[in-house]
Amino acid sequence: MKLKNKTNVIPRVVAAHDMSGIGRCSLSVIIPVLSTMGIQVCAMPTALLSTHTGGFTDYTFHDLAGDMEGFIRHWKSLGEEFDCFYSGFVGSGEQMEIMERFLHDFSMDEKLIVIDPVFADNGVLYSAFTEEIIGAMRGFIRHAHIITPNITEASYLLGEDLCAKSNDLDQIKKQIRRLADFGPKTIVVTSMPLEDDKKTAIAYDGEQDRFFLSSSDYIPEQYPGTGDIFTSVMTGALLQGEPLAVAADRATQFVARAIRFTYAYNTTPREGVLLEKILPTVNDPLGSINYKII
């Protein structure tokens, strides 16, 4: 993980994600979370959807690959500089090539590159993708310093099931080290069911070969967009200067709080978590930090 050569007074993140009108995911949650954490988001929309793809049908989908090229040309001509590149839901293989060009043209390897390989959950690919996304994502993540797959995405990337029981910790560590062999030195795997009544994230710092584990109570409901919120909080905390273990733990605790809060309102899950109500707590003091070392 790198946090060097900070360029801007307010750290600036290029966020290359889709904009979905309904459902609180991707740019609709990334921008408010990072802004509230004191980070400027420069949005590079990858696609425009009427809703996200989880739990909705008949959504519109407009690929913005051509516009992304225009953004890069224009930003380059303006001499803009960025402290972090963060991508998630990608609309096509072509978009990955465009983003790779961005990383090169803006020397992002010297800054921070966070790729959330968004393509699957609960053991299956999202409806917008075919198996081709797996190989393409393996190639794309080699540019990242940090990746944040959920357990399903991590398993697809590995080509085998990631162990997920607390008595398999040695095996889990081996598998996560293998993910780091793809290129990114920092790996954060989310949504791991290590214990029946918990959801766990494991953060691996490959430069120091250290593992950190953050858990939260399991709540029996799933809300789309929580992965985007997790990676946004973690990235924001890293850009605030916090170390990986703290950043991943803050993300875990914030998402857990958002889910617990939302569950009480019994809203339609596909609408996502009630971010507007819970967002002010994203900068809560660090009193509740309680990651474990494994």
Enumerate binding residues for ligand PXL (CB under 6 A). 18, 20, 25-26, 49, 52-54, 89, 118, 126, 224-225, 227-228
Nearest CB to ligand PXL, comparing residues 26 and 152: 26
- How open is the CA angle 266-28-154, to the nearest 5 degrees? 80
Q: How far is the CB of 154 from ligand PXL (least distance, A)?
A: 15
CA distance linking residue 32 with residue 24, whole number of Å: 11
Nearer to ligand PXL by Cβ, of 53 and 191: the residue is 53
Do the Cβ atoms of 2 and 74 come closer than 8 Å?
A: no
d(CA 147, CA 222): 21
Could you tell me the smallest distance in angstroms from the CB atom of residue 203 to ligand PXL?
A: 20
Select 175 or 232, whichever has its Cβ closest to ligand PXL. 232
Pick the closer one to ligand PXL by CB: 11 or 54. Answer: 54
Q: How far is the CB of 9 from ligand PXL (least distance, A)?
A: 30
Shorter beta-carbon distance to ligand PXL: residue 128 or 213: 128
- Closest contact distance (angstroms) between CB of 201 and ligand PXL is 16
Cα 175 to Cα 154, 157, 198, distances in angstroms: 9, 11, 21
Q: Which is nearer to ligand PXL, 26 or 191 (CB)?
A: 26
Nearest approach in angstroms of CB 47 to ligand PXL is: 7
Q: Give the nearer residue to ligand PXL in terms of CB position, either 37 or 118.
A: 118
**Smaller CB distance to ligand PXL: residue 55 or 139?**
55
Query: Closest distance between ligand PXL and the C-beta of residue 60, in Å?
Result: 11
Angle CA 29–31–35, to nearest 5: 120
Q: What is the closest distance, in whole angstroms, from the C-beta atom of residue 135 to ligand PXL in the complex?
A: 20
Tell the smallest beta-carbon distance from residue 99 to ligand PXL (Å). Answer: 15
